[in-house]
């Protein structure tokens, strides 16, 4: 028997825990390429998400803005379409609610059609 014992390593053996082979250059390159591709895809996806979200927010901001002049215009138009009023008192021109005007137009058209039917 030898004086080193059964667990002793040969004198030219590397110490325990030593890497026995070199790292694979091919594996490292493939890993780097895959990593770069994943990063590029992620960046493009995030950029598209950012652009889409920004456009939605901008559109919502534009739609939610209400110009006071536009509100006043709508109020004036609504008043004119739903109330009676004098346009020109000297000429006797007035405005009436749109619902009433439509009923009068239908009555007038009906009377004309009725008169034409009698003539025939």
Q: How many CB atoms lie within 10 A of CB 112?
A: 10
First-to-last C-alpha distance (Å) of the chain: 140
Q: Write out the two tokens for 32.
A: 């780097």
User: Residue 21: its pLDDT value, please?
Assistant: 78
**Which residues, other chains included, contact 87 with Cβ-Cβ below 8 Å and sequence gap of 6+?**
93, 94, 95
What secondary structure does DSSP assign to 83-97, as a single string? Answer: S-EEEETTTTEEE--
Report the C-alpha gap between 34 and 82 in whole angstroms: 69
Query: How confident is residue 99, by pLDDT bands cut at 50, 70 and 90?
Result: very high
More confident residue, 51 or 22: 51
User: Residue 19: its pLDDT value, please?
Assistant: 72
Percent with pLDDT over 90 in the chain: 52
Average pLDDT estimate for 92-113: 92
Residues 118, 104, 88: CA angle, nearest 5 degrees: 125
| Residue with token string 């919502």 | 60
More confident residue, 93 or 119: 93
Whole-structure pTM over 0.75, yes or no?
no
């Amino acid at each position: 028997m030898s004086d080193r014992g059964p667990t002793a390593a040969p004198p030219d053996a590397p110490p325990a825990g030593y890497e026995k082979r070199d790292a694979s250059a091919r594996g490292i390159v493939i890993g780097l390429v895959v990593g770069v591709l994943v990063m590029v895809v992620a960046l493009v996806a995030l950029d598209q998400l950012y652009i889409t979200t920004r456009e939605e927010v901008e559109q919502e901001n534009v739609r939610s803005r209400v110009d006071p002049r536009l509100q006043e215009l709508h109020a004036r138009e609504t008043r004119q379409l739903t109330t009676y009023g004098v346009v020109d008192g000297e000429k006797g021109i007035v405005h009436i609610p749109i619902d009433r005007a439509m009923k009068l137009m239908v009555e007038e058209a009906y009377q004309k059609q009725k008169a034409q039917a009698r003539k025939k």
